[in-house]
Structure 1
Amino acid sequence: MWKNSSLRCLLALTILCLRSLIYSQEIGSVGHTQNLKCVTHNLRKMICTWDVSSKGRHGQTDFCYTTNGLHPPVCFKTKEKRVEIPVPERATTVTITTNSISGTAFATKEFEIHKKDISFVPLTPRILSLTPDFSTSTLNLKWSDNGSVFPYGLDAFWQIQILRKEAMEKVTQVTYYSKLTHEDIILSWNWTSDMPLECTSHYVKIRCYINVTQFVGPKDWSDWSPVEEVPGIDTEPNGSGVFPQDTVVAVGSDVTICCVHEEGQQIQRMTYGPEIYPMIHLSSRSSAIRVLNASASDTSGTNVVCILSEDEMDGTVLFVGYAPDIPQNLSCETSNFLIIKCTWKPGRPSGLYGKRRTKYSLFERISGKNVSCEVNEINRDCVCGFPVLADQKTYDFILGVSNPIGQTESSLLVDLTQRVNPKTPEKLTVSGNSSTSVRLRWFINGSFAEIRLLCQIEISSGHSERKLDNVSMPGGKFSTYTAQLNALHPYTKYQFRVRCSAADHFWRWSGWSKIEEHTTLEAPPARGPDIWRERSPSGKSLKIFWKPLSLSEANGKIVSHEVSCHLLETPLEYKEVTEPSNSTEIKLGKNDCVISVVAKNHAGSSPPSRITSVELPSDNVKTDRAVAMGNGIYISWNSYPNMTCGYIVKWCHSSGSEPCSVDWQKFPSNTTDAVIKSALFRPGVRYNFSLYGCKSSGYQLLKNITGYTKELPPKRAPNFTVEETSSDSILVKWEDIPIEDCQGFLEGYRLSFAKGEKDALKPRLSESGNPELKVKNITDLTKKSLKILDLQGKTSYQLDLQAYTAGGLSPPNSLYVVTKEDSVGLIIAILIPVAVVVLLGVVASIFCYRKREWIKETFYPEIPNPENSKALQFQKNICE
């Protein structure tokens, strides 16, 4: 019994020990701490989390941490498996004790945390706002960088993701960079969609990465923020339309255009201009087309049509143009110190008009004043006015240019006193009561009191070159300005006009004023006329010639010439010759005198021109040839030391029934050659010149000269005749050519001849290319005949005779001549054949006589008797 009881007690004790051992083992494994992780979001605090091996219930957890044992441990209790503690500067020892529900510690584990074990993950960003701009298809995203919790100067990277459609298809992902400033900064970012925002819903989310270079632990991106949505029109119950509405895009852009329709409708097709485009499905109520590399549209734009059914459609207009060019050659100036006019070249046309046109504004930075500029895009007249401001000389302009596609600007700094272009002078008047001076008056509309003006007066007349006279004067306010012009020429019709500019800082001339005309008064002629005289062949009268004075010398209208003749201060004769005569004749008898000629106009008389009538005798006066120069005639002569007052060359035509018009030219004593020119000279006309030497006692003829300005071929050939013909020669004679037909100095004759019949259609000998053509060149001008030898009898010959000068050959004169028959030759021609025949007959007779036996035997042999033939005898024997 006891034994059984003892056995039972022992068995119970054994079971109790085993259960206690099993329980103690369970207690040792339950509540075991594992997977300790620490993450910091701000580099100051870190959140540590862990797992417990048991899934059963347990009580609070004791969490203690120390730093290298230098400080007592910091402990606290937590019901969560998560604590927030400061980020340690060094390694940290962490002790985690898991307690039972009753508070009994049943598991303790110690961890050592190093800096490299701590992860840095920024907090999840929070989007503050997502604002759409439907007119530009732009999303504006704003969020806080939470920079106040981080040290200054850290680099932050923000990954922004754009999604589209109900399925949230990823459109793009961009990285935005910022610098943390230890303050909470609101960051903003814009994104322009390639598709109108109305077409379908758009979504945005964001996450952050902060590059802390001194942090040695793992660094990672934050979690994505919650998604922000911009709903499309296709999500609205009654939303419909074609988008974008009447928008402007740049040439070359890729444009997406969508059509949103109501429930129950269906898009048939979409067209851009005349073309149908394939559609892109966006949602059950939205489809789009994609126009690539859009070209410039017309002024009224390009139509986009969405056809829903045969009788229902919707649409929009797309305007495709260019962004404005940077204005070129911006220039500003003032014409009156009231308005500053700025001009520029706009560059390429934008192709946008109306309310979408390019707009210009002129902003002055010093004063802060801004004006709007009206510029016609079609005429491209780019001018803008800016008011002149009081007490301001320097202007700093910015020309702003903008249109819906883009904007640009150009700047210019100007000192207004150096950019003055006065208005065109007005009300120009000319007055004067003098032969050499006038006074000009003009008005300039503008206020130029602060500067000096430089005005340029243009003076022109019919007989002189244009002259410019500069006059400087103080400027005034809306003033009249005057100028005195002197040293003008009498009795001259002048044209005056004026323009002005700034005197100290020249910029540009104003426009020319209107031309004003004025004629100065007459004055006495400046000098006497150029005169010459010629004594008549009888010697009893003297003809005096004078040349008209030029306009610049006459100083007025010449009304007459006074001609007088004096002998030892005694007047012999006086004449007044009215215009337009330029010569007169005086009866002198055998006397000589000094002739005086005075030109007169309404203002007075010229100084007298004098010449003596004395002509000194000349011996052995020669005639030389002049040299043709094309534009004149070159003559030369030897120097004559005793000719103290120069030389006179007088000339006129060498032929003509009427008296020639006398002309002359005077040269100083040191001259020995000259080219004589005259508007009356003609090529091919011979002119005769006489060279006179001037002495104090009179004039002496030195030599005669003849010549041409240019030699031409003679007008015609000399007339010629055949004086004598024979069977082998022709004698021709010709006449002289008149001088007026020579048109040059005759150098010789050219006689061409060849066999030829008279035929009007045949070419001239010089053009025929006849190989038998022969030419005789006669250079002896005294010779007037030529005998042509070695010709054939009774043969027709063509003869061409031409004269020639240095200018060429004259046209030919032609004759046709037949030479006489040669009788002796005919007789010889008959006798020779007869003699040959007789001689041949005699030779044949002699030959035949001597060879008569041979001839007889050859041509007439003897015939034998047949009876004596041996052949016949043989035949006879056979028969027998």
Structure 2
Amino acid sequence: MNHLVFQTVVLYAVLYFGQGNHVIQPRNLKVSMNLTLQQLLLEWYVSDDPKTNHCEIDIVFTIQIYRTEENNVILTENYTTALNKSNQPLNWSWISDIPLQCATHGVRLRSMVAPLEAWSNWTSWEAVDGLDVLNDSKGYIFPYEKYVEEGSSVTFCCIAKKNEHVTNYTFHKHTEIVNTTQQRIMFTETAVPLTSEMGLNVYCRFSYQSSFSDLDRTVLFVTRQPDEPRLLDCETKDMVELKCTWDPGEIYSYNDNCLTEFILSDVSHTKTYCSCTKQCRLCQFKVSGEQTKYNLTLVSKNCLGQKQAYVDIDVANRVLLPPPDELSVGYQNATMIQLYWTLKPIMKTLLVVCQVNIFSLDAEEKQYNMTVLSSPPLHPHINLYGLQVYTKYTLKVRCAAANDLFWKWSKWSQTITIQTNESAPAGQLDIWGDISPGFKERNVTVFWKASPGFQANGNIKTYEICWENVEQSGGCHSTKSNNYTISLNSQSYKITVWAKNSASASPPSVLHLSAAEDNGDVKYSEENTTGNTAHGIYVSWKPTSKFDGYVVDWCNYPRSQPCDFQWRRFGQNESSTIITSGAFSRGMRYTFRVYGTQGNRMCLLEKKTKYLEELEPVQDPSFNISAVTSSSVTVSWESYPEDSQLGFIRGYNVYIKMANRNCTLKLSETLLFPGDLVSCKHTIKDRNEKKLTLRNLEPGTTYLLAVQAYSVNPRNMADKFEPVTTQLERNWFHRLLPPLITVPLMIIICVCFWKSDCVRNYLFPEVPHPHVSPVKKTLVIIEDREVTPDRLVVMKKPDISIDSLLFEGRAIENAMYFNPSCCQSLQDQEGASRKLSCASTSYRPL
């Protein structure tokens, strides 16, 4: 070493002092072009002085390049290298920023021994010509199918053939006119955009070209350098083969001249394992004997550059087991499942941990872990306890190397679905009854549903319902529905319901039905919508300490059969709730019954009729018009059926309009509607009042009448009006006629009352007392033909014979006598010449 240093110092001294600033002169400079890579290639030798051929020294070369386009030096660069003993030529290259074919480039250089700071003479210029100096018979455009990086600048040149010139050029659909007669032009495009596989077209038009098809064309491909590979990692499933995977990132070029290539190699062992292109994502290779550690390098490269990623692998810590398979059940009952599965063998015996995942729709997802050896036979199993009865479970298994060798879990096995066995239903049913009273019997519909604590624990096959009372036997029935109707008398009953599956029956649920009683204490009410929500109806009740709870029942669809009967239970201290149901709708009347419960007994407390939201009646009530006079009209109407009411009817509005005049009725509200006519409105706030007499109307006038029912917010006007015309006013004769009749009649009555005795005697003359003449044995009967009686009185005839009519020394009863005074007045009126006769009179002493 010391000898070499000494020799070098001596050489410097000889060169510098022995010959007076001696330098090493470059010689034999040659310049060439690599058009594919667009490089200028320089080759030269140094001086033939034999003193320089036996040692190694550092020498600096200054290289200059000029271009005819700029007509000056475009590059001056120093190049330092060491001279060797072999006297081999020196080389240097330069990549041009424009196509080398577009201009002539000249090169020269000089040298200097580093510590001496004495430069040699410049060599002569060595030039390489571009195609622009050739008198060729065709035109050119450069660069030709070049690949550049996105965002870079690219210089193009167009060279016309001999004695022609360039007229315009087009870059990516943009054409530029050239106002020159030059044979060659150059233009630069900056920030070129990323292109597809087809690239960007560049055209040059020369003076001798007339059609587009004749244009000279080149293609520019703009792409990117490859992304750096990400997530490079390797793993093995059997410790025999190693699989490495990575994310290649985005692939920008699919052209064969600039494909992205991936090369995976081991730096420490200088061995390449894989080389692939395009969407390459993995590489698999055999583990080499006892080698377990690998220093891997992944290179991704294309024509523009390359990127690298590194990873160090210990095979023993990269074991990824294959997923378990052949899952099966060994034994099961209502709360336990014994699960088996199979593991594939691996090269070495490892401690393996397996995780069982169990999932059901009714329970949380759970994992169970167990550890096994990977040596055959690989059929591990696990007992899963504490499962729910008659529940479908989905199970899957995954495994991994245990403890310090844990790398990652295997993929999950295929799932298996298992349903545990049935057992007896747990908990009681929630039962309730709807009573429809009848003449001699009452129909009781018993409903039931699962209570919060009820578990079917299987498929419910049937429901059993039984009923009984103290005095007589009851009955039982089996049904698959959730209700059953029983006809019972007015006595108290005990009703029992329980559910049955294939295993057994649930504990019975009991409902005590009291004897039929008058519900005189039940409170009936209609309530407004205060407290309601968008889908809920507020219900409240007055709590009583004697009840241990409350039940509210209702129908979701009160106008349908079945009505979807529902009920809810509440605690002793609760007094209100919001009943929520998706079936509730606006304008529908719902009835809520509130019961108090004592054990299994129920007592009806209240009935509440409510709406989710009250609506106004859709149609106005029909009405009748009666008692029409010249100044009044009576209007009457019928009420709505309750089932058709969209809200509680709170009153009625009666509207009065006149055809072409304003309404001026007193004691009524006036309304102004379109047309600037004033209408009148009478509001009746008592919904039970369905009659109204309109007074103070004008005679002989037509009115338009309408009746409107309202609930909360009545409409502005009724829909249907009916006309009515008042009667004309009577004339003076009709006005005087009643007094003319009434006054004389009163006078006659008064006179008659004043002369009451005379009138009575005239109308009812006094009847003389009958006179009986004494007779012996012969009854003398006056012929009735001789007189005409003015009165005939028929008296009661006793049951005696004709022989008893005569009695010695006594008057004769029930005989026919003539009364001369009964026809006296007639004789006076008819005249003495006419013979009158009186009727015989049956007489009985008074």
TM-score normalised to structure 2 length: 0.64
Which amino acid in structure 2 is aligned with residue 354 of structure 1?
A: D
Partner of 2:502: 602
Secondary structure at 1:624 match in 2:
strand
Partner of 1:624: 525
Q: 2:306 aligns with which of 392, 407, 411?
A: 407
Partner of 2:688: 782
Q: 2:260 aligns with which of 349, 358, 361?
A: 358
Q: 1:207 aligns with which of 106, 110, 113?
A: 110
Range moving further from structure 2, 495-504 or 397-406: 495-504
State the shift of 1:781 in Å.
1.5
Q: Is the 8 A contact 2:425 2:504 kept in 1?
A: yes
Q: 2:626 aligns with which of 700, 715, 723?
A: 723
Which amino acid in structure 1 is aligned with residue 533 of structure 2?
A: M
What does 1:83-102 correspond to in 2, within 5 Å? none
Uncovered stretches (5+) of structure 1, i.e. residues with no partner: 1-40, 48-83, 88-119, 759-764, 828-880
Q: 2:77 aligns with which of 171, 175, 189?
A: 175
Q: Closer, same or farther in 2 for the Cα pair 1:169/1:716, shift >3 Å? A: closer
Q: 2:227 aligns with which of 326, 330, 334?
A: 326
CA-to-aligned-CA distance 1:501-530 (integer Å, 9 cap, x gap): 888899988777666444443322222322
Partner of 2:65: 162
Which amino acid in structure 2 is aligned with residue 383 of structure 1?
A: R
Secondary structure at 2:62 match in 1:
strand
State the shift of 1:383 in Å.
1.8
Which amino acid in structure 2 is aligned with residue 785 of structure 1?
A: K
Distance in 2 of aligned mates of 1:783 and 1:393: 103
Whether 1:685 aligns to 2:685 is: no
Q: Closer, same or farther in 2 for the Cα pair 1:770/1:470, shift >3 Å? A: farther
Which amino acid in structure 1 is aligned with residue 689 of structure 2?
A: K
Q: Is the 8 A contact 2:631 2:698 kept in 1?
A: yes
State the shift of 1:497 in Å.
5.8
Whether 1:575 aligns to 2:471 is: no
Q: Closer, same or farther in 2 for the Cα pair 1:684/1:280, shift >3 Å? A: closer
Whether 1:383 aligns to 2:281 is: yes
Which amino acid in structure 2 is aligned with residue 714 of structure 1?
A: P
What does 1:137-148 correspond to in 2, within 5 Å? 137-141=38-42
Secondary structure at 1:772 match in 2:
strand
Whether 1:676 aligns to 2:574 is: no
Distance in 2 of aligned mates of 1:710 and 1:229: 100
CA-to-aligned-CA distance 1:467-522 (integer Å, 9 cap, x gap): 45465655859967755554444444555566778888999887776664444433
Whether 1:714 aligns to 2:617 is: yes
Range moving further from structure 2, 774-783 or 267-276: 267-276
Q: Is the 8 A contact 2:15 2:22 kept in 1?
A: no
Q: Closer, same or farther in 2 for the Cα pair 1:46/1:688, shift >3 Å? A: closer
Distance in 2 of aligned mates of 1:766 and 1:333: 89
Distance in 1 of aligned mates of 2:712 and 2:292: 77
Distance in 1 of aligned mates of 2:652 and 2:275: 87
Secondary structure at 1:554 match in 2:
coil
Q: 1:528 aligns with which of 428, 436, 458?
A: 428
Q: Is the 8 A contact 1:122 1:221 kept in 2?
A: yes
Q: Is the 8 A contact 2:251 2:260 kept in 1?
A: no
Distance in 2 of aligned mates of 1:520 and 1:530: 26
Whether 1:558 aligns to 2:558 is: no
Partner of 2:702: 796
Q: Is the 8 A contact 1:635 1:676 kept in 2?
A: yes
Q: 2:537 aligns with which of 633, 649, 659?
A: 633
What does 1:295-306 correspond to in 2, within 5 Å? 299=197
State the shift of 1:606 in Å.
0.6
Which amino acid in structure 1 is aligned with residue 625 of structure 2?
A: V
Question: Identity of counterpart residues, as a percentage?
Answer: 24
Distance in 2 of aligned mates of 1:732 and 1:496: 79
Q: 2:641 aligns with which of 727, 730, 738?
A: 738
Distance in 2 of aligned mates of 1:649 and 1:554: 25
Q: Closer, same or farther in 2 for the Cα pair 1:135/1:555, shift >3 Å? A: same
State the shift of 1:783 in Å.
1.9
Distance in 2 of aligned mates of 1:773 and 1:298: 80
What does 1:413-428 correspond to in 2, within 5 Å? none
Q: Closer, same or farther in 2 for the Cα pair 1:753/1:269, shift >3 Å? A: same
Range moving further from structure 2, 486-495 or 745-754: 486-495
Range moving further from structure 2, 360-369 or 265-274: 265-274
What does 1:461-860 correspond to in 2, within 5 Å? 461=361, 464=362, 467=365, 469=367, 471=369, 476=374, 484-493=383-392, 516-533=416-433, 536-537=437-438, 543=444, 545-549=446-450, 553-565=455-467, 572-580=473-481, 582-585=483-486, 587=488, 590=491, 592-614=492-514, 620-626=521-527, 627=529, 628-644=532-548, 646-652=549-555, 662-678=565-581, 681-696=584-599, 698-756=601-659, 768=674, 770-789=676-695, 791-806=697-712, 809=715, 812=718, 814-820=720-726, 823=729
Secondary structure at 1:740 match in 2:
helix
Q: Is the 8 A contact 2:422 2:502 kept in 1?
A: yes
Which amino acid in structure 1 is aligned with residue 726 of structure 2?
A: K
State the shift of 1:238 in Å.
13
State the shift of 1:349 in Å.
1.8
Secondary structure at 1:605 match in 2:
coil
Q: Is the 8 A contact 1:426 1:514 kept in 2?
A: yes
Distance in 1 of aligned mates of 2:28 and 2:273: 41
Distance in 2 of aligned mates of 1:414 and 1:318: 45
Distance in 2 of aligned mates of 1:234 and 1:680: 90
CA-to-aligned-CA distance 1:226-282 (integer Å, 9 cap, x gap): 555668899999999979896533155434568899xxx988989999999989999
Distance in 2 of aligned mates of 1:466 and 1:420: 31
State the shift of 1:436 in Å.
3.6
CA-to-aligned-CA distance 1:295-335 (integer Å, 9 cap, x gap): 7777466698999999xx99996552323243375454658
Q: Is the 8 A contact 1:358 1:402 kept in 2?
A: yes
- Tell me the C-alpha RMSD between the 2 structures: 5.7
Distance in 2 of aligned mates of 1:776 and 1:513: 82
Q: Is the 8 A contact 2:160 2:206 kept in 1?
A: no
Which amino acid in structure 2 is aligned with residue 249 of structure 1?
A: Y
Distance in 2 of aligned mates of 1:450 and 1:814: 93
CA-to-aligned-CA distance 1:544-584 (integer Å, 9 cap, x gap): 6132448982233333333334668x994341323236214
Distance in 1 of aligned mates of 2:137 and 2:25: 35
Q: Is the 8 A contact 2:672 2:678 kept in 1?
A: no
Uncovered stretches (5+) of structure 2, i.e. residues with no partner: 1-9, 662-670, 734-846
Partner of 2:780: none
Which amino acid in structure 2 is aligned with residue 600 of structure 1?
A: K
Distance in 2 of aligned mates of 1:256 and 1:477: 70
Q: Is the 8 A contact 2:244 2:282 kept in 1?
A: yes
Q: Closer, same or farther in 2 for the Cα pair 1:276/1:652, shift >3 Å? A: closer
Secondary structure at 1:647 match in 2:
strand
TM-score normalised to structure 1 length: 0.62
CA-to-aligned-CA distance 1:96-148 (integer Å, 9 cap, x gap): xxxxxxxxxxxxxxxxxxxxxxxx785544578767544313234467899x9
Q: Closer, same or farther in 2 for the Cα pair 1:135/1:86, shift >3 Å? A: closer
Distance in 2 of aligned mates of 1:732 and 1:356: 99
Which amino acid in structure 2 is aligned with residue 408 of structure 1?
A: K
For these two proteins, the number of residue pairs brought into alignment is: 687
Distance in 2 of aligned mates of 1:121 and 1:726: 150
State the shift of 1:665 in Å.
2.1
